[in-house]
Amino acid sequence: MSKLTSKARLLSANSHMRPQAEWTLDSVEGGKASWVPPKPEDVRVFIGVMTAATSPGTEPGSKYDYTARRNKARQLWMHLARRYGHVALAFVVGRSADPGREAALAAEQRRHGDFMVLPVEDRYDNLSNKTRVYLREVLRQYPNVDYVVKMDDDVLILPERLLMAADSWTAMGADYVGCANKVQPDADPASRYYNPHHRLVKTYPLYFHGSNYMLSGRIVRDVILPNFDNLRTARSTEDTALSWWMLASDAVFFEDRRLCRLTCDAATVALADQEHAGFPMEYWDEVMSNPGCTAPAEFPLPYVPVQYRKYPGLERMHSMMV
């Protein structure tokens, strides 16, 4: 049970709410968004949703229909995040060598105006570099940001609860927050999860699953930016690469199981299935209409126990819960 009082409500304070007219519309006319983006200097939380162009011929509504995922995310939760004057969010994409994919993304951007386009080639084996460039770009655009969220487009976030959780992270001084995982490096060059540095370790150090995690603005400023060109990338296994970057710093780790729930209850901040690296879209409507998701959140949010039985050593994180 959290012991935080209302005085700890900094990022989740109701004073950050904007007039409804500034966030209800999400169309774009003439290349200009009809919703009003927050001023860059006011942004304290940035939510980046990693996505990609949908390949021609993809079955509509299938696992790889990224366009359908984005449209559903806009409908179910992204408009709710726009209620806050200190929160910015965007779908994060790189460049494609396919002119058709580039044209489709450009058309979607003209309609919605909610993409952050990075100067990197958007390939699965370039994910760790994409993440590195993403973090740099967030700080370039939003220099005062306190927290940077990285999430995949098949994860669902409850924005009000995310801000309440962020207040608890602030109180405990956490810099790197997510749901723990620990596996062996993939040494098969033919695998999509191949890590070219697999000979360095037999088992990855503890890391937070790449479907969604949070970094403090402090750690991006003090660790990522100054060492940008020297950070070891690891092709598609960007989450393990990030853990190496954090382990080489003074980042404070905190496992927050509220970020990887399979159902809605009072503690749910995000819905993400670690076993399947996301949350299947066919269940989105059902789970987001669950009373556990739709009920107003109460501050402070309850915690979810860490996985100390699965990952010995995590029990010390119980003492961090405030």
Question: Which pLDDT tens digit goes with each residue over 243-268?
Answer: 889 988 999 999 999 999 998 999 99
Residue 157 pLDDT: 97
| β partners of residue 33 | 28
- Position 304 in a domain: no
- Position 204 in a domain: no
- Position 33 in a domain: no
Is it the case that residue 297 has pLDDT exceeding 80? yes
d(CA 4, CA 7) in angstroms, rounded, equals 8
- Position 312 in a domain: no
Would you give the DSSP letter of residue 308? T
- Position 205 in a domain: no
> Beta strand 45-50 with 87-95: parallel, antiparallel or unpaired?
parallel
- Position 2 in a domain: no
Residue-wise pLDDT for 174-207, tens only, equals: 999 999 887 666 666 766 666 666 566 666 678 7
- Position 226 in a domain: yes
Among all chains, which residue has been given the structure tokens 């509220």? 258
Would you say 155 and 279 are in contact if contact means Cβ atoms under 8 Å apart? yes
Tell me the pTM: 0.91
Distances (CA, A) of 317 to 77, 112, 320: 30, 40, 5
- Position 256 in a domain: yes
Our count of domains for the chain comes to 1
Terminal Cα distance for the chain, rounded: 8
- Please give the average per-residue pLDDT across 215-223, as a whole number: 97
Would you say 318 and 306 are in contact if contact means Cβ atoms under 8 Å apart? yes
Residue 50 pLDDT: 97
Is it the case that residue 26 has pLDDT exceeding 70? no
For residue 129, the enclosing domain spans 40-179+211-297
Residue-wise pLDDT for 30-67, tens only, equals: 444 557 889 999 999 999 999 999 988 889 888 889 99
Q: Is the peptide bond before 226 cis (omega within 30 degrees of 0)?
A: no
* Token pair listed for 155: 């994860």
Q: Judging by beta carbons within 10 Å of its beta carbon (0-12, 13-18, 19+), is residue 99 exposed, middle or buried? A: exposed
Q: Which CATH number covers residue 289?
A: 3.90.550.50
